[in-house]
Structure 1
């Protein structure tokens, strides 16, 4: 259930003003109109933007809004949640030079995603912003039925003919690595063995790979994921990284029921 405090109309207007200010400071000189579409589900979000210049062809060009704008929209989305009816999925914000804005919300239709959100985002949305059945659109209620709601991340993509791990994933930026490792290693542990496994990247190394499983209530991952990132720079699955980044690298509280569900998924008893 959402723990975010509802925002009063005056507080919502204050956030609109902050969004306007952040955009005007980031837009190029001689801009005429800016359009931003903030789309969110659970902790997944995307925010494509475009800008039209005062002089030129009159056709819009792609524009990347500052991260601050996404944070303001997320506060707005959480603060506009109403028990039983949910909150919006898409906010379309149109800013016309110099400070005139128009904003529209859609809390029913599935957003026109640029990149489809991972499956865990659907379950996370329902947990964070619960809706009564009559206010839950079919696309939100039915999408997760095709698979488990707590996917298990793998340390590697595959194993080569020589038995060594194969990884084909985007690198984790150096400035995020330590923060990501802390998240992976400090998230609630739901299963653990007393022994350690061998290092598949360096078999001659001491056995230090933890035989554990962690969860943040949306994903499950073995302790090896954090170990290989810390010891060898092996990036986790990109969907897991995107999820953790969208959470601001903050580990949530995970209830006993979710921990039990994670154990059931790991052991195959779910």
Structure 2
């Protein structure tokens, strides 16, 4: 019995590979001929995208190379493709291309991406709404950002929801519903 994917929409693994090839192609096109290594660090939330690109030449020089057009969009899709229900998605990725064309990529699902300059805590709360995580997969640094976002009056989450996006309407601080208290 065959277990091949039906034609049409590619699997997440296939799409990941396609995106990685596309990203690698963009990086190779952006790098000067004869490069030794390309090092790309991407940090993302749904609201903020930051890409730092460094190219190393054989003589140790590091010419200024701008991240190619379309790179952020490819990585935004990569966040969606790699989203795992309950587990979340990555906050930063490092892509290294060693000459001639060896591509290695690693994803950070758990550690603070350390944006420079720092981004508002509300950006992490919004990210968690789009890419939800089970409580067990919310690291301490992210939990602190959610607490900070909850205290930020600029936070624009819907009334009656917690930073995690769960409803707070009709519950007491002890977690019992208003109906249970009035019964």
- TM (norm. structure 1) is 0.51
Question: Which of residues 19, 25, 30 in structure 1 aligns to 2:29?
Answer: 25
- Normalized per residue, the structure richer in strand is 1
| Alignment correspondent of 1:45 | 49
Q: CA deviation at 1:70?
A: 1.3
Structure 2 unaligned regions, length at least 5: 1-8, 162-183
Question: In the comparison of the two structures, how many residue pairs are matched?
Answer: 154
Q: CA deviation at 1:144?
A: 3.3
Distance 1:149 1:14 in 2: 41
Q: CA deviation at 1:52?
A: 0.3
| Alignment correspondent of 2:13 | 9
Question: Which of residues 101, 104, 112 in structure 2 aligns to 1:102?
Answer: 104
The alignment yields a C-alpha RMSD, in angstroms, of 2.6
1:39–1:89 contact (8 Å) kept in structure 2: yes
Pair 149,97 (structure 1): closer, same or farther in 2 beyond 3 Å = farther
- Once the two structures are overlaid, the 10-residue window that deviates more, 124-133 or 112-121, is 112-121
Which residues in structure 2 correspond to 1:152-167 (within 5 Å)?
Answer: 152=154
Q: CA deviation at 1:149?
A: 6.6
| Alignment correspondent of 1:116 | 118
SS of the equivalent of 2:32 reads coil
Distance 2:11 2:39 in 1: 24
1:86 aligns with 2:126: no
Distance 1:79 1:150 in 2: 31
Describe the superposition over 1:46-96 as per-residue Cα deviations: whole angstroms up to 9, x where unpaired: 111101012x2x254553211311111110111110111111111100012
1:77–1:87 contact (8 Å) kept in structure 2: yes
Pair 126,17 (structure 1): closer, same or farther in 2 beyond 3 Å = same
Pair 117,123 (structure 1): closer, same or farther in 2 beyond 3 Å = same
